[in-house]
Amino acid sequence: ASIYSSASILGRLVSFLMNLHITPRTIWLTRHGQSVYNTRGLLGGDSPLSRAGIGYADALRCFVRARDPAVIWTSTLQRTIQTGRATGRGCLQIKALDEIDAGICDGMTYAQIADRFPSVADARAADKLRYRYPQGESYEDVIRRLDPVIMDLERSQEPVMVIAHQAVLRALYAYLVGQAREDCPHLSIPLHTVIELR
């Protein structure tokens, strides 16, 4: 089993290196429009866009028309799909772009977590990068599952727009700009903002 896994790691590394290129292109990162859960301060879930979120998705349509990304990727959650659909372009749904899984805390506010699961709130505050929500994920888990997405981003010679979620975009942004892994969970990726990387 260990020979198999080292061979597969080596294979992935070779494929990664062979697909690196220096063709200039642009990558745009944006969170979905504000969701109904966002308006209530609730984590996770799969809620649709709020009125303000629909407004952002409409504005993104004009941005996409002007900048013309070759492809748009979304997660499989409806808030990113709805945002992508508003651009009028076909979007590729990628499960690995789904938001960090908050496990037993999904659907709760931070105040509710501190009240019902104080040990979760404390442990996460102490080590946000490595702390894994019970029945959920840590930032390190998210970074790991984004590996294939990063390989596809590196391979692509065309401009790509990624419509995803805060934790996922923190990880992608940190990788793309060479930010320290420890900083990743604390980066600011505001709603209703497009980050353009060249």
Binding site for ligand G3H (CB under 6 A): 43-44, 99-100, 102, 165-167, 185
**Residue 32 a catalytic site member:** yes
The CA distance from 148 to 92, in Å, is 14
- As measured in angstroms, the least distance from the Cβ of 165 to ligand G3H is 6
- What are 47's two structure tokens? 């809620």
**Quick one: 60 or 167, whose CB is closer to ligand G3H?**
167
Closest CA to 119 of 131, 135, 129: 131
**Residue 99 a catalytic site member:** yes
- As measured in angstroms, the least distance from the Cβ of 174 to ligand G3H is 13
How deeply is 185 buried, as exposed, middle or buried, from its count of CB atoms within 10 A (0-12, 13-18, 19+)?
A: buried
**Residue 38 a catalytic site member:** yes
- As measured in angstroms, the least distance from the Cβ of 26 to ligand G3H is 24
**Quick one: 89 or 130, whose CB is closer to ligand G3H?**
130
Task: Answer yes or no: are the C-beta atoms of 124 and 105 closer than 8 Å.
Answer: no
Catalytic residue among 12, 19, 21, 32: 32
Tokens 């727009």 sit at which residue? 161
**Residue 19 a catalytic site member:** no
**Quick one: 47 or 64, whose CB is closer to ligand G3H?**
47
At 121, the amino acid letter reads A
**Residue 155 a catalytic site member:** no
Catalytic residue among 124, 145, 165, 170: 165
Catalytic residue among 19, 31, 158, 181: 31
- As measured in angstroms, the least distance from the Cβ of 4 to ligand G3H is 34
Pairing assessment for the beta strands 91-93 and 71-74 based on DSSP bridges: parallel
**Quick one: 69 or 133, whose CB is closer to ligand G3H?**
133
What are phi and psi for residue 89, nearest 5 degrees? -105, 160
The CA distance from 8 to 25, in Å, is 29
Instruction: Give catalytic residue positions.
Output: 31-32, 38, 79, 99, 165
